[in-house]
Amino acid sequence: MTPSELYILYGFLAFISLLLVAMFGALVRLSISVGRVEGQITGLNNRITGLNDRITGLEGRIERIENRIERIEEQMTNFREQAAEIRGMLIGLNSRIDSLMRHHHDDDGRVVIVPEEVAAAD
C-alpha cells in the first residue's frame, strides 16, 4: 500500500470514528431527553393519582352531604307538620279565648256567655 492509500484509509477511519462519536453524542442526548420525558410522565401520573384520590374523597363527602340534606328535608317536613298542628291549636285556643272574653256574670255570679252578634242583612 502506498502512503496515499494509507492516508485515505486513515481519513476514512477518522471519518467513521467522528461519525461514531457524533452518533454516541446523539444517543446520549436522546437518552437524556427520554429520561426527562419519562420523569414528566411519572410526575403527571402521580398528580393524576393524587387527583383521583381527592375526587374519591370528595365523592364520599358529597354523598354524606346529600344524606344530611335528605335528613334536613325530612326534618323540615316534620317541622311543617308540627307548625301546622300548632297553628290549628292556636286558632282553636284563640276562638275559645274570644268566647271567654265575651261573657258577663249574672246576679247570682254565674258566667253567661254572650252570643256573637250577627250583622243584620239589608
Helix (H), strand (E), coil (C) string for 65-88: HHHHHHHHHHHHHHHHHHHHHHHH
> Could you tell me if 88 and 77 are in contact, meaning their C-beta atoms sit under 8 angstroms apart?
no
How far from 104 is each of 9, 77, 94, 98, CA to CA, in Å? 141, 44, 19, 13
In this predicted structure, which of 9-23, 46-60, 86-100 has the lowest mean pLDDT? Answer: 86-100
Alpha-carbon distance values, 23 to 17, 26, 30, 98 (Å) = 10, 5, 10, 108
pLDDT for 61 equals: 92
What pLDDT sits at residue 72?
Answer: 96
C-alpha atoms less than 13 angstroms from C-alpha of 108 in its C-beta half-sphere? 3
Q: What pLDDT is stored for residue 114 in this prediction? A: 66
Cell of 11: 481519513
CB 79 within 8 A of CB 71: no
Contacts 24+ apart (CB under 8 A), 75-81: none
**Mean pLDDT, rounded, for 1-17:** 91
Q: Give 57-89 pLDDT, tens digit per residue.
A: 899 999 999 999 999 999 999 999 999 999 999
